[in-house]
Structure 1
Amino acid sequence: MSLLKIPCILFAMIGLQVTTTAPHPPALPEEMLSTSKMELLVKQRSGPIIVQLICWTAAIGEATVILATNSPALKISQNILSVLAFDGTEEKIKVSPLFVLGTFLTALGGFIRYRCYRELGRLFTFEMSLRTEHKLVTTGPYSIVRHPGYLGVVLCVFGIMIWHAGSGSWARECGPLKTTLGQGIAMIYLILVTTITFGLLIRMYKEDEALSEAFSEEWADWVERVPHRLIPGLY
Structure 2
Amino acid sequence: MESLLKSTLVFLTGIFFGVAFTPPNGDPKIAPRPPLDKGFTAQREWSFVWLIARILPLMRLSCYIATTNECLFILSSAYPSVLPLFYRTSSSQFITFPFLLGALLTICGGTLRILCYRALGAGFTFEMVQAGKRSKTVELAQNPKLVTHGPYSIVRHPSYVGSWMCWIGLSLVQLDQGSWIRESGFYDHSLFGKALVWVLEIIMAFGMVNLLVRVEPEDKMIHKQFGKEWEEWAKRVRWKMIPGIY
Smaller-chain TM-score range? 0.7 to 0.9
Q: RMSD of the TM alignment (CA)?
A: 2.0
Q: Deviations over 1:208-233 (max 9, x none)?
A: 01011111111111111111111111
Identify which of 67, 76, 79 aligns with 1:68: 76
Note the alpha carbon deviations across 1:17-45, whole angstroms, 9 max, x for none: 11111100356899xxx843221222232
Listed as ranges, the matches of 1:33-182 within 5 Å are 35-44=41-50, 45-74=53-82, 77-81=83-87, 85=88, 88=89, 90-130=90-130, 131=133, 132=141, 133-178=143-188, 179-182=190-193
How far apart are residue 59 of structure 1 and its match? 1.3
Cα distance in structure 1, aligned partners of 2:29 and 2:84:
52
Residues 29 and 55 of structure 1, relative CA distance in 2, 3 Å threshold: closer
The Cα offsets for residues 85-128 of structure 1, whole Å up to 9 and x where unpaired, read as 4xx3x344421001100011011111000000000011101111
| Alpha-carbon contact 2:6-2:95 (below 8 Å) kept | yes
> What residue in structure 2 maps to residue 23 of structure 1?
24
Segment of structure 1 superposing worse, 15-24 or 130-139: 130-139
Q: Which runs of 4+ in 1 moved over 6 A?
A: 27-30
Superposition deviation, residue 169 in structure 1 = 1.9
- The answer to whether the aligner puts 1:188 opposite 2:199 as a matched pair is yes
- Pairing partner for 1:233 from 236, 241, 244: 244
- Distance apart, 1:168 and its partner CA: 2.8
CA drift of 1:60 comes to 1.1
The SS at the match of 1:4 is: helix
5 Å-filtered alignment, 1:212-231, equals 212-231=223-242
Separation in 2, partners of 1:218, 1:25? 29
Q: Which has the higher contact order (CA 8 A, sep 6+)?
A: 1
Q: Deviations over 1:111-149 (max 9, x none)?
A: 000000000011101111122232111110000000001
- Identity across the alignment (%): 33
Aligned residues: 224
Show structure 2 runs of 5+ residues with no match. 32-37, 134-140
Q: In structure 1, list runs of 5 or more residues that go unmatched.
A: none
Please report the TM-score for the alignment, with normalisation by the length of structure 2: 0.84
Q: What is the DSSP-based 3-state SS (H/G/I as helix, E as strand, rest coil) of the residue aligned with 1:192?
A: helix
Q: Which amino acid aligns with 2:23?
A: A
Q: For 2:199 and 2:30, how far apart are their aligned partners in 1? A: 30
Give the whole-Å Cα distance in 2 for the aligned partners of 1:27 and 1:13: 22
Paired AA for residue 106 in structure 1 = T
Deviations 1:148-170 (A, max 9, x none): 01001000001111112222322
